[in-house]
Structure formats: structure tokens, C-alpha cells
């Protein structure tokens, strides 16, 4: 019998991205060996800030075409104290999201059983949200510029660009996610009171797409009031859709409220499957803790599990998720969750569980 084969592009990137991606690869290899039903072919790329500092470019000419041939992309983190963020990100992660039309960024947040004692005081028991963040346009369209640079006359602009098609495909995806979940409840985040063009279009598209989903209950929340609701009435929320920037902010808050940013993962999806989708932790390169073998690898493992699910390996995905969740329930965790284990030790524990489960 010939094995199902999947070509996975791996970009570990910078900082703790390197450590947690190595951990995720180990877990992927463990689950591949354990099940023996598929093969993962890893293509590892050294794109990142070290390469930039050595060669002047984050990635070689034609890198996006190269990545386009993979079945999925596993990403670590990017960012470097020596490189302005707006360079590092516009060289690597934002072009991927745009070029590969990864128009939704899906970020589930839930408080894992067993995490409560280790998590922040603010962690809310039973919280169970899925955020769908628009991922290719809006405030991240990259348009804008600076005039009279450095002079007192200087003006700088960032243009948030919303297209009807871009908003609609994201909104439709969000309604579908809401429909697939038990509560069938969607909250559309907006700020159309202040942002009176793009966000008004956003509201209009929400209302029109909603007509195709009569079984989904939906409401609208201003992004500012949304933070209050997340803190004060977390159980009133289920599926949430937001623009690129609003989603960026709210999903970090969600990660904090669900106990640790060290376990939050994120999928940048092209639901049409015309292009590879990308799977990454919500956290960044975290230079303050890099190289110390203390980064929490669980977000990267959950990202890898979500990738397995996306490429059709549901059984493997479930195994990885169960193993990582059990290590947390058992208190075998890194210091951000109040534990004493290193990155490598947590990885070993999870790999062993994958082998035995």
C-alpha cells in the first residue's frame, strides 16, 4: 500500500520560533511513526532575520512561487531586535498571507481543563470562542505613505482598504463556522461609528450574508465595547468575526483571558485550497526568553495539529491535541503555566504520550 504523502514547508523564522518549531516537528514525526498511514516530507527554509542580516533579504528571489508548491506551511515566528518590525513582517509573514489568499485567520480560544490553576487570575472557566479574523486586507493592506519626511509638515497615512469581495468571503466563512458549532451564534465586530467607509461596508456585507444563514443568530459589537464584553460576559460569545486589526488585538486579549498566550495557535487559511494555508502560534519571536529553553512549545504543537487536520489527517491531529492537552492537565508544563519543565522536556513528554495514546 502506498502512503499518503504531504509536502510541508517549514519556516521556523526567528527567536523562539526556532525552538518551538523544532518541538512541533518532533511531535509530527512521532505521530507519523505511530500511525504509519501517511508520510510528511518536510522542506525546511532558513527565511528570517539572520538571513536578512547576512544577505540583505529575508528570503531568496522567487520564494513565494517555491512555497506555492507545498501542501501546507508550518511557521514559527518572525521579528528581530535589530530589524524594524515593519521591515521583518512585510518581508515575510504579511506577503504570505496576501499572496496565498489566506483570507481567514482562525483562532480558537478555550480554557483547557487543568489549566486553571496555572493560568492568570483572569482566565475564565468554560470560555470557548472561535475568532475568524480577516487576513488579507483592511488595515493591513499596506497602502499609504509619508510626505515631508522629518519636517514639521510631515504627514503619514495608512490606508485601510476593504473590498466587497474580500469582506464577503471572510464573512461567509465566519457564518459557516458559526453554523457548524452548537450555539450557532456569531458576533460581528465593527467600528463603523468612527470608521465611516470601510466599516460601514463591513456592516452592510454582514447584514446581507446573514440572510443566507437564517439559522445563525448574530449581533454586532463595537470593537471597544467588545473588550468589555469579553471580560465581563465571556459566556455570551461563541464565534466572532473581525477585521484584520481588530482581530489581531482581540485574539491576543482572548489568548490572555484563556490562560496563556503560550498555547494559542492560529491558522491562516485559503478555504478555496488554491494555495497552501499556514499554521503558526499566536505568540511572536519573544527575544527576552529566546535560547533559554523555556518557551512553551504547545502553541506550535496545536498549530501542527491543525495543519494535520487541514491536510486530511484527522486521526493524527486528534492524537497530537490529546497528547498536548494531557501534558497540560498533568502539570507537565513550562514556566509560563507555572511548571518547571523546559521546552525540550515538554516536547519529550508529548512525544511519549503520542506513542502511547
Ligand X SMILES: CC(C)[C@H](C(=O)O)[C@@H](O)C(=O)O
Q: Within 13 Å, how many C-alpha atoms sit on residue 41's CB side? A: 8
Residue recorded with cell 514639521: 152
In angstroms, the CA 50 to CA 11 distance is 13
Query: How many angstroms from the chain centroid is the CA of residue 215?
Result: 28
The nearer residue to a copy of itself, 57 or 156, going by C-beta atoms, is 156
Strand pairing report for 265-269 and 277-281: antiparallel
Q: Could you confirm whether 252 is annotated as catalytic?
A: yes
248 is catalytic: yes
Q: Are 78 and 92 in contact (CB under 8 A)?
A: yes
Number of other residues whose CB lies within 10 A of the CB of residue 297:
31
Does 318 help bind ligand X (rule: CB under 6 A)? no
Instruction: Please tell me whether residue 197 binds a copy of itself under the rule CB under 8 A.
Output: yes
Cite the beta strand spans of 111-147 per DSSP E: 128-134, 138-147
85 binds a copy of itself (CB under 8 A): yes
DSSP 184-209: -EEEEEE-TTTSTTHHHHHHHHHHHH
Q: Is 224 a catalytic residue?
A: yes
**Cα gap 215→14, rounded to integer Å:** 44
Per CB under 6 A, contacts with ligand X among 140-199 are 193-194
The yes-or-no answer on residue 238 being catalytic is: no
Q: Interaction with a copy of itself in 258-297: which residues (CB under 8 A)?
A: 261, 284
Residues 327-346 that bind a copy of itself (CB under 8 A): none
Q: Rule CB under 8 A: is residue 116 a binding residue for a copy of itself?
A: no
Three-state secondary-structure class, residue 353: helix
* Residue 85 is among the residues annotated as catalytic for this protein: no
Give whichever of 19 and 248 is closer to ligand X, judged by the CB atom: 248
Min. distance of Cβ 307 from ligand X in angstroms? 16
In the complex, minimum distance from the CB of residue 165 to a copy of itself, in angstroms, rounded to a whole number: 6
Q: Does 211 bind a copy of itself (CB under 8 A)?
A: no
**Contacting ligand X within 69-98 (CB under 6 A):** 89, 93
Catalytic residue chosen out of the listed positions 140, 238, 270, 336: 140
Interaction between residue 231 and a copy of itself (CB under 8 A): yes
User: Which residues contact ligand X by CB under 6 A?
Assistant: 89, 93, 193-194, 224, 248, 282, 284
Amino acid at each position: 500500500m502506498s502512503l499518503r504523502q504531504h509536502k510541508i514547508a517549514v519556516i521556523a523564522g526567528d527567536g523562539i520560533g526556532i525552538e518551538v518549531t523544532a518541538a512541533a516537528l518532533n511531535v509530527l514525526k512521532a505521530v507519523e511513526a505511530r500511525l504509519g498511514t501517511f508520510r510528511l516530507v518536510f522542506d525546511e527554509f532558513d527565511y528570517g532575520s539572520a538571513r536578512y542580516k547576512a544577505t540583505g533579504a529575508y528570503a531568496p528571489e522567487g520564494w513565494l512561487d517555491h512555497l506555492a508548491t507545498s501542501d501546507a506551511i508550518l511557521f514559527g515566528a518572525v521579528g528581530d531586535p535589530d530589524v524594524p518590525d515593519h521591515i521583518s513582517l512585510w518581508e515575510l509573514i504579511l506577503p504570505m498571507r496576501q499572496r496565498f489568499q489566506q483570507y481567514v485567520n482562525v483562532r480558537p480560544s478555550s480554557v483547557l481543563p487543568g489549566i486553571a490553576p496555572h493560568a492568570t487570575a483572569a482566565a475564565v472557566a468554560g470560555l470557548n470562542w472561535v475568532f475568524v479574523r480577516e487576513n488579507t486586507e483592511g488595515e493591513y493592506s499596506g497602502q499609504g505613505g509619508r510626505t515631508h519626511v522629518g519636517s514639521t509638515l510631515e504627514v503619514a497615512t495608512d490606508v485601510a482598504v476593504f473590498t466587497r469581495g474580500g469582506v464577503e468571503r471572510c464573512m461567509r466563512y465566519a457564518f459557516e463556522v458559526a453554523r457548524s458549532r452548537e450555539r450557532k451564534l456569531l458576533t460581528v465586530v465593527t467600528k463603523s461609528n468612527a470608521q465611516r467607509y470601510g466599516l460601514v461596508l463591513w456592516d452592510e456585507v454582514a447584514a446581507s450574508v446573514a440572510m443566507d444563514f437564517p439559522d445563525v443568530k448574530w449581533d454586532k459589537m463595537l470593537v471597544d465595547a467588545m473588550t468589555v464584553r469579553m471580560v465581563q460576559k465571556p459566556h455570551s460569545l461563541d464565534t466572532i468575526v473581525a477585521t484584520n486589526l481588530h482581530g489581531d488585538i482581540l485574539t491576543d486579549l482572548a489568548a490572555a483571558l484563556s490562560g496563556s498566550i503560550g498555547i494559542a495557535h492560529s491558522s491562516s487559511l485559503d478555504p478555496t485550497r488554491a494555495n497552501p494555508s499556514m499554521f503558526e502560534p499566536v505568540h511572536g519571536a519573544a527575544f527576552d526568553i529566546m535560547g533559554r529553553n523555556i518557551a512553551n512549545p504547545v502553541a506550535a504543537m496545536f498549530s501542527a495539529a491543525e495543519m494535520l487536520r487541514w491536510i486530511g489527517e484527522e486521526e493524527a491531529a486528534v492524537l497530537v491535541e490529546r497528547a498536548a492537552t494531557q501534558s497540560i492537565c498533568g502539570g507537565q508544563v513550562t514556566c509560563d503555566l507555572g511548571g518547571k519543565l523546559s521546552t525540550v522536556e515538554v516536547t519529550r513528554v508529548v512525544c511519549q504520550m503520542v506513542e502511547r495514546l
